[in-house]
Each structure stands twice: as structure tokens, then as C-alpha cells.
Amino acid sequence: MTTSPSANADPNALLPDSELAFFAPLLPWQQQAWTQLTAPQNQAALPHALLAAGIEGIGKRAFIWRLVAWLLCRERHTHPLGACGVCESCDWLKSGTHPNLQVLPLHSLPMVASEEASASTAKSSKSAAKEGADSPKRTIKIDDIRQLISFVHQGSQGIRVCVFDYAEQMTIGAANALLKTLEEPQPQVHLLLLTDSPAQLLPTIKSRVQQLPLQRIPFELATGYIKAQLGEQVSDAEVAQLLSLANGAPLAAVAMASAPWYSKRKVWLTVWLALRAGKRSAMAASDYWQKELSLAEFTQLTELMLIDLNRIVLGLDSLQPDCEIAAALPAEFLPSIEALDSLAEVIAASKRAIQQNVQEKLAYDKLMQSIAQT
Ligand SMILES: [Zn+2]
């Protein structure tokens, strides 16, 4: 059967995710930041070094890839709302070979990232889990910066764009090597920095870039977006709970709702209560969970439950009213602060174990023992 796209078809509908990153619709809470940056009267004064900072899941990378495409687009002066998607530059982006774009670390480039993701899914979930924070592949080293500086100064034709993802993981040497380039704008060069941990970004870098206003997300826009992504059957209360569990980051809330571990929070609570009551052994519980979730997923689930247990012990409301944790825990059965602290330590150890690719069963058993003692 042959189909011809209708006149109203979304031109992005046929693009793979990796290409869509450059041409995706603007997230609703980024409207103002985009308009300010790209308005025709502001284009001449576009800051040469921009920083997109904030926790994971607020859409910083979506904004930056969109901005990259627009800055490079040949038709940008007549397309203030985003790259045209059809010029030579937009085609280069789609093929992942734009000569005027440099990305550090390279695997942050949407094409490479999606290829690696599918390769690691094909292998095992372990290698995907290893790609966590502080992964050595995320580090930007001094040699990377030196290469990039020669690209900045090569004086080729047209706009050139450099993206520094996980900028907080630049080594001190790399950051120092970059300072001069940040301080002396080169004509037609744009430097775009990204960080999930702005507090860890070196102050010398932070003071030389202009921060994009992407962090403040109105509650209504965030909940409206989550609802649109998850479908109308999700209640307002569920959406609000997801958003608060995700610290107000809408994309993180949507990812959490779709994660295999999120639907197992009540089971976690039941198993934990059975462990504490001595009705189940830690080994049996560990065997059970290993069939349900990977260690990375179970660690994430346990971390979320621990946040709530800490809140309840401190007399605060649970962030997950749907789990009715407080009702299941009479005051005399509350865990001690010390027990919660030592569980937090074992969770941290479990995360390190995931990165070091140690034998999953050992780390799983250890975590379960600590949960049983909490
Ligand atoms: Zn274009």
C-alpha cells in the first residue's frame, strides 16, 4: 500500500528520534526564552556563550539542540520559530555530519547517543546502566578543548557552533584552556554549555557565560505537558505526584511514569514490611526482585522510597499519597534516622557497583540485607 502524506501531516512525524532532536516542537515553558533569544531585533546581539543549566528532565538539551539547528540553518532569518528542516545545513544535521558543529563529548550528539542506546539495549541493560553520572566518557579533557579551539579559530565560512555537554565534568585543565575562548568572542562562533549540576560547574566558567532562563517552569504548563504525554486517563493527583517526585522536572516525571519500577512502589512497601516482620528472608526477597527489575532500576526505586521514609520519620507528608506509606507504618514501627542513613550509604555503594559492573547478584543481596535491617 502506498500512502501520500496529507497536507496537514506533521513534517517531523517521519523523522527518527535522533533527527527529531534538532527539529522538535518547542516545549511549552520555553516559549519566552526562545522568543527573547531569536527575535529579529535581538539576533545581532546574541550572546556568544550560553549556558543551559538545571536538573535533568527540564528540557535543556531539547532547547539546545533546537537552538543549534536554528543557529546553523541557512533560512533562519525567515524562520524565527526554528530551523527550516530543508536547507543544506538542516540536511547535514540530519545526517550527523555538519562541518560547522562540534560536540563534546562526542557521544552527546543525538545521532551517536541514540545509536549507543540501541546498541546497549541489544547487549544488556548493564552497559546502559553504566552510562550514569561521572561516567568517564562524559569527561571533557584538555586535548578535546585544544582541538575545539582550532575549530573556533579556523575562520571558515558561516556560523560555527560548539556544544559542551556535562560541562561540570570538564577537567580543571580543560576549563582553563577554554577560558580565553569564552572571554574573547569570535565572529560567527557560538559556544553552548549544558549542565545537570550547575553547583559543580567551575565559577570561572559560570561567570563568563550567559545563563538561559529555562529553570522556572509554571506548574500549569508542567502538569499540562505531563498529561498530554501520558494521556487523559492519568488523574490530576497522579500528575501532581509525579511532578513533585521528579522535583518539578516535567520530562523526568514522564520518564518516571513510564519506567518499569515506578508501578512497583506498593510492592516494594509490602516486601519491605514482610522483611521487617521476619515473614520473608532477605535472600528470598532478593531473588524475587532480581526477576522483576535490574539492579539499576531497583536501586532507583529504593532511593525514591527512602526519600519518602525520611520525610515520614521527620513528620512531613509523604510525596506518594497513593502508596499510603504512613498508614502502613504506625509510629512505633518507624525506622530510625540512623537506619535510613545506613540504607542511603548502601544505595550509594550499589550505584558505584553498577558503574563498576560488579556481579549484580552480590550487590542486589547486599542492598536487600540493608533494606531488611531498616
Ligand atoms: Zn534550514
Asked if residue 205 belongs to a domain, the reply is yes
Which pTM was predicted? 0.83
CA of 251 to the centre of ligand 1 (A): 27
Residues with CB under 5 A from ligand 1 (ion): 73, 75, 83-84, 87, 90
CA of 86 to the centre of ligand 1 (A): 5
Domain of 366? 262-372
Asked if residue 244 belongs to a domain, the reply is yes
| 175 in the same domain as 309 | no
> In a 3-state reduction of DSSP, which class is residue 81?
coil
| 46 in the same domain as 187 | yes
Q: Report the domain count for the chain.
A: 3
> In a 3-state reduction of DSSP, which class is residue 73?
coil
Residue in 68, 37, 24 with CA at minimum distance from that of residue 211: 37
CA of 30 to the centre of ligand 1 (A): 21
| 282 in the same domain as 254 | no
Q: Contact 158/99 with Cβ under 8 angstroms?
A: no
Q: Contact 275/289 with Cβ under 8 angstroms?
A: no
Asked if residue 294 belongs to a domain, the reply is yes
| 294 in the same domain as 352 | yes
**DSSP classification of residue 314:** T
Asked if residue 180 belongs to a domain, the reply is yes
CATH of residue 171's domain is 3.40.50.300
| 357 in the same domain as 274 | yes
| 327 in the same domain as 357 | yes
| 235 in the same domain as 186 | no
| 244 in the same domain as 175 | no
Asked if residue 288 belongs to a domain, the reply is yes
| 187 in the same domain as 237 | no
CA of 22 to the centre of ligand 1 (A): 10
What SS3 string covers 170-228?
ECHHHHHHHHHHHHCCCCCEEEEEEECCHHHCCHHHHCCCEECCCCCCCHHHHHHHHHH
pLDDT tens per residue across all 374 residues of the chain: 334 444 444 445 556 666 788 999 999 999 999 999 988 777 777 889 999 999 999 999 999 999 999 999 999 988 889 999 999 999 999 988 899 999 998 888 887 777 766 665 554 444 444 444 445 567 888 988 998 888 888 766 789 999 999 999 999 999 999 998 999 888 889 999 999 999 999 999 999 999 999 999 999 999 999 999 999 889 999 999 999 999 999 999 999 999 999 999 999 999 999 999 999 999 999 999 999 999 999 999 999 999 999 999 999 999 999 999 888 888 788 999 999 999 999 999 999 999 888 889 999 999 999 999 99
CA of 371 to the centre of ligand 1 (A): 54
Of 150, 185, 211, the position where a domain reaches its end is 211
| 315 in the same domain as 282 | yes
Asked if residue 322 belongs to a domain, the reply is yes
Angle subtended by helix axes 265-276 and 360-372, to nearest 10:
60
Asked if residue 9 belongs to a domain, the reply is no
Asked if residue 4 belongs to a domain, the reply is no
| 156 in the same domain as 227 | no
| 197 in the same domain as 112 | yes
Strand order in the sheet with 189-195: 101-104, 160-164, 189-195, 49-53, 210-211
Of 185, 211, 237, the position where a domain reaches its end is 211
Rounded distance, CA 47 to CA 64, Å? Answer: 14
